[in-house]
Amino acid sequence: MNVGIYLFLSCALDKNALRQESEEKRLLQESAQQHWSGVRWSIPERSAAFYEDPLESARKKHNIELPMQRVTDVQILHVELLPVKNGWRDGIVYVRVEGINSSNALQTIEHEQLWYRNEKGWWIGERSE
């Protein structure tokens, strides 16, 4: 009888962990989509909002640091959650960016972007300990 209860509870805990992992991935995907939509449509307030440090956010409103002058398309290719460390989670967002470079030629790059999560949400960059 006790073994049956133990198996039931462990299965329920596994399902909750999977559900939480799925929700974290969805939230990261949505945050990345909002950020890159801001980059794509040249809305710096939207794209810079995902930098937790106010100084970094202000800098990103004026300089996005891409090797192209105008972005024409952005696709989130994949979102990957990294293992939880010290109670916090990090993730990597893989993005395909297409745009016009300084030579007036179409350029496509794949960008790997590190994000971290805290109690306020998902943020771009490395966690400051």
Q: Delimit the domains of the chain by residue range.
A: 2-124
Query: What is the rounded (10 degree) CA torsion for 41, 45, 46, 52?
Result: 140
Predicted confidence at residue 11, as pLDDT, reads 56
Q: Could you list the mean pLDDT of each consecutive 10-residue stretch along the chain, which spans 129 residues?
A: 56 68 95 96 94 93 86 97 90 97 95 94 85
| Residue the block writes with tokens 């890159």 | 36
pLDDT of residue 2: 67
Q: For tokens 């960008």, what's the residue? A: 111
Fold of 2-124: Nuclear Transport Factor 2; Chain: A, (3.10.450)
Dist CA 92 CA 90 (whole Å): 7
